[in-house]
Amino acid sequence: MEVSIIFCGLDFFGYSNFNENMICVNNINSVQMASSIVDQISIRKNIDVIYSAIQKTWQYDNIALGDFNGSLELGNLGNKGIPVTSLLYMRKKTTDLVWDAIITIPYLNSQSLYSFKDLYVASNVSMDYALIPCSIGGIQGDWIIATILPSFTGTFIFDDYSNFHLDKDLKWDAITTNISKSTYLPLGSQFPITIYGSTKYRTGKITNTLITDDSMDGLGTGISGIDLANERLQTDAFIDFITNFCPKMLKDGQGKMLCVNTDGNPTETPNNELHGGISDVSFDFTECGKTDIKTLQSMNLGNIIPDDN
Amino acid sequence: MTVLKPDLIMSNFDAIKDYILTFTLDPSTDQCFGNHIIIYNNSTNAVVYDNITTSFLLNHDIPANTLVNGIIYKITIAYFNLGGTYSGFSDGTIFKCLATPIVLVSNITSSEVIASNNFKFIGEFTQAQGDSLSTYEYYLYDGNGIKLQSSPTLFYSPSNVIQYQFTNFINNTKYGIALHTMSVMGIEVDTDIVYFNTQYIAPTFAGTLLLENLPDIGGIQLTSNAIQIIAKIGNGTISFNGSSIDLTNGMIYFGNTEGMTIFSDFTIDLFNSDFTLDEPFLTLLSPQGKIELCWKSWNKCINATKTTSNGICVYNIFGQEVDLTTNNKLYIFFQQIGNYLNLEYEILS
């Protein structure tokens, strides 16, 4: 390869057209190309880029990359000029075989960053996620697959709109697996006959101290720095949440994940040593369904909401 | 002379089809010259079939429609040697006649065109006497009937669908799909191969899917950067030549209406040839002005020029003299860093 010249304009002041009032041309909203034959153009945000006369591949900071292999496309989404209409996200446990669609986000020309949070994952259960661009008619394109091992501590109780992290003086009582059975005592037989039903669900009880971060940091005005107003608000919000008669998710850092109803009568036990500034809250739960996305969505759970990008 | 009881090898079968019953003999026994089977209705103990056949073979044909599906039977067999000496009858073996299950891949028809690179096949299984599906496998074939892939052996439960998703079908390709089932009563069925075609223009994606743990909320953050830019023809005519685009008689443009904005700093790598001299080959437009790259004949260099929206040229840099009259191919490295531009280029051999 013959190298004919190198020139760096940053330090160039020799040409008379130079003007001290030179401007930074920001917000470039149109790029025109003409008067040549173009093999490739790459436009990147990053300026810490090494000079290299090798054709480029798409990088994380690329704004556009055009190879012009028979099309006028310059993005990381290609479809022979046919618009991409949506981005389909699917997931499965790594050990499972079948993927479940979790969200389809419409593709917008005005948006390049797409993100959302998936709370419906159990800790320590490896998950595969796939991103599939789709075009008109739902034609699915390349599957981009990534794997992660979710990891968190404490217990969370949540639905699509609220999420409470229970990690202060948390106590799970015994979890009972309830099954249904009938026992018959036939005359003339030494042993009974037991018939089992298909009912199988778990019940239990959780107790947790509710305390805000500000109170933990002693930033409030109450005894021991408790933020009394916020404690009241948080406790009321939590009681309202677990008495809203809707299914919700309960999971912990060990890997348990249950779809539950919070039944029984929740109790709030003010801490008298702290003049009632904080409270323990107890509630019972009853498992009410499976935790796959389809089942959850049938119970108005498991609906992923895109981030506001 | 030794004639010991034979051992039956028996399975449930469909009574409307011929069935070849087989048995084994202890190696120390005399050669088989024939056998005698008796089949009883297991509920009534009535003999429903009693037949003697003369054959060296260790089998016995039960003709179609001799028995009735849905009935449980007991069978016993004896054999005899050259001298006509019978063995004792074997211990009774219980079996049930069952109609062949009806199995099909239900969500695809022959020669159907699948407009996707993946498909979730759904099957159906029915059996007249109520036998249930135990396990199943899907087989994917190429257009010549050669098996390409098998699903794992999947265990069926009544709450599940008989389904499996094959992915990554090649476009414009003929495939075949078949379903193999095993019932609880041990009857195996293979469907015929259903051939189908794929035909689609599918999006390609060169981006990544970033996953991140969010321990504070117990969730996963999914982030991806996806952008589709389809340039438009501004004027003139353009043509594609292999992996390049000929813009010597035309102009293309793209920008925020196609999903792209360059907010400030940038790096552009450009591989060009066949320049029209003294004509800008790259123009970046913003409300504040524009930046142009152009080979100027007066200095025989690539020039980068900033011009305000009022048309006043406020900044110009250029590199070393380069001869573009011979249609040399150039690599151009071009940056905006704050108010400054950085321009480097070289002729590619």
* CA separation for the pair A73, A83 (Å, rounded): 10
Each domain of chain A, given as residue ranges in start order, spans 84-148, 155-298
Task: Tell me the pLDDT of chain B averaged across its residues.
Answer: 91
Tens digits of residue pLDDT in A14-30:
343 444 456 778 889 99
Half-sphere exposure of A305 (CA within 13 A, CB side): 7
* CA separation for the pair A211, A168 (Å, rounded): 8
pLDDT at B117 > cutoff 80: no
* CA separation for the pair B34, B3 (Å, rounded): 12
Task: Please report residues of A whose CB lies closer than 8 A to that of B167.
Answer: 143
Task: Please report residues of A whose CB lies closer than 8 A to that of B206.
Answer: 57-58, 65, 76, 78
pLDDT at B283 > cutoff 80: yes
Return the pLDDT at A18.
44
Return the pLDDT at B266.
94
* CA separation for the pair A195, A186 (Å, rounded): 13
Return the pLDDT at A3.
39
Do A24 and B338 count as a contact with CB atoms less than 8 A apart? yes
Contact B290, B304 (CB under 8 A): no
What residues are paired with B78 via a beta bridge? B36
Return the pLDDT at B257.
79
What is the average per-residue pLDDT within B92-112?
Answer: 93
What is the phi/psi pair of residue B114, to 5°? Answer: -95, 120
Q: Sorting pLDDT into bands at 50, 70 and 90, what band is A56?
A: very high
* CA separation for the pair A51, B335 (Å, rounded): 11
Residues in chain B: 349
pLDDT at B129 > cutoff 80: yes
Cα nearest neighbour of A150 on chain B: B213
Return the pLDDT at A163.
93
The distance of B25 to chain A (nearest Cα, Å) reads: 42
Q: Measured between CB atoms, which of A1, A7, A109 is closest to B259? A: A109
Do A44 and B285 count as a contact with CB atoms less than 8 A apart? no
- Dihedral (CA of A282, A285, A291, A294) sign: negative
Do A107 and B229 count as a contact with CB atoms less than 8 A apart? no
- Dihedral (CA of B75, B81, B83, B86) sign: negative
What is the average per-residue pLDDT within B83-107?
Answer: 92
Task: Please report residues of A whose CB lies closer than 8 A to that of B254.
Answer: 30-31, 64, 72, 74
Task: Please report residues of B whose CB lies closer than 8 A to that of A1.
Answer: 346, 348-349
The distance of B127 to chain A (nearest Cα, Å) reads: 24
Residues in chain A: 309
* CA separation for the pair B56, B82 (Å, rounded): 10
Task: Please report residues of A whose CB lies closer than 8 A to that of B349.
Answer: 1-2
Q: B116 is written with which tokens?
A: 């996707």
Q: Sorting pLDDT into bands at 50, 70 and 90, what band is B223?
A: very high
Task: Please report residues of A whose CB lies closer than 8 A to that of B295.
Answer: none
pLDDT at A86 > cutoff 50: yes
Do B348 and A138 count as a contact with CB atoms less than 8 A apart? no
Tens digits of residue pLDDT in B28-76:
888 899 999 999 999 999 999 999 999 999 999 999 999 999 999 999 9
- The single-letter code of the amino acid at B313 is C
Cα nearest neighbour of A78 on chain B: B204
Closest CA to A25 of B265, B253, B319: B265
Going by their DSSP bridges, the two strands B194-198 and B112-114 should be labelled as parallel
- The single-letter code of the amino acid at B198 is T
Q: Measured between CB atoms, which of B163, B213, B333 is closest to A151? A: B213
The distance of A90 to chain B (nearest Cα, Å) reads: 11
Contact A120, A150 (CB under 8 A): no
Task: Please report residues of A whose CB lies closer than 8 A to that of B243.
Answer: 39, 67-69
Cα nearest neighbour of A154 on chain B: B218
Each domain of chain B, given as residue ranges in start order, spans 7-96, 102-198, 262-348
Tens digits of residue pLDDT in A92-118:
999 988 899 999 999 988 788 899 999
Task: Please report residues of B whose CB lies closer than 8 A to that of A74.
Answer: 229-231, 254, 260
Contact B99, B69 (CB under 8 A): yes
Chain A interface disruption, residue of B213, B217, B220, B341, most A CBs within 10 A: B220
Task: Tell me the pLDDT of chain A averaged across its residues.
Answer: 87
Closest CA to A41 of B220, B9, B282, B140: B282
- Global pTM reads 0.65
What is the average per-residue pLDDT within B314-342?
Answer: 88
Contact B70, B129 (CB under 8 A): yes
For chains A and B, count residue pairs whose Cβ atoms are closer than 8 Å. Answer: 451
Q: Sorting pLDDT into bands at 50, 70 and 90, what band is A309?
A: low
Q: Measured between CB atoms, which of A68, A129, A133 is closest to B226? A: A133
Return the pLDDT at A21.
56
Q: Sorting pLDDT into bands at 50, 70 and 90, what band is B113?
A: very high
Spell out the SS3 assignment of chain B: CCCCCCEEECCCECCCCCEEEEEECCCCCCCCCEEEEEEEECCCCCEEEEEEECCCCCEEEECCCCCCCCCEEEEEEEEECCCCCECCCCCCEEEEECCCCEEEECCCCCCEEECCCCEEEEEEEECCCCCCEEEEEEEEEECCCCEEEECCCEECCCCCCEEEEECCCCCCCEEEEEEEEEECCCCEEECCCEEEEECCCCCEECCCEEEEEECCCCEEEEEEECCCCECEEEEECCEEECCEEECCCEEEEEEHHHCCCECCCEEEEEEEECCCCCCCCEEEEECCEEEEEEEECCCCEEEEEEEECCCCEEEEEECCCCCCCCCCEEEEEEEEECCEEEEEEEEEC
Cα nearest neighbour of A306 on chain B: B222
Tens digits of residue pLDDT in A291-301:
998 899 999 99
Cα nearest neighbour of B251 on chain A: A34
Q: Which spans in chain A are helix H? A: 213-216, 228-242, 293-298
Q: Tell me how far the alpha carbon of residue B171 is from its chain's centroid.
A: 11
Return the pLDDT at A2.
38
pLDDT at B122 > cutoff 90: yes
pLDDT at B261 > cutoff 90: no
Return the pLDDT at B167.
83
Chain B interface disruption, residue of A15, A27, A31, most B CBs within 10 A: A31
* Domain over B102-198 is classified CATH 2.60.40.10: yes
Percent above pLDDT 70 for chain A: 92
Return the pLDDT at B222.
96
ipTM for the predicted complex comes to 0.84
1.20.1440, 2.40.30, 1.20.120, 1.10.3470: CATH of A155-298: 2.40.30
Q: Sorting pLDDT into bands at 50, 70 and 90, what band is A7?
A: very low
The distance of B203 to chain A (nearest Cα, Å) reads: 4
pLDDT at A5 > cutoff 60: no
Same fold, B7-96 and B102-198: yes
Buried b (16+ CB within 10 A) or exposed e, A140-168: bbbbbeeebebebebbbbbbbeebbbbbe
Task: Please report residues of B whose CB lies closer than 8 A to that of A65.
Answer: 206
pLDDT at A13 > cutoff 50: no
Cα nearest neighbour of B166 on chain A: A98
CATH class of B7-96: mainly beta
Percent above pLDDT 70 for chain B: 100
Lowest mean pLDDT of A3-7, A157-161, A305-309, B114-118, name the range. A3-7
- Dihedral (CA of A216, A218, A221, A223) sign: positive
Q: Which is more confident, B170 or A156?
A: A156
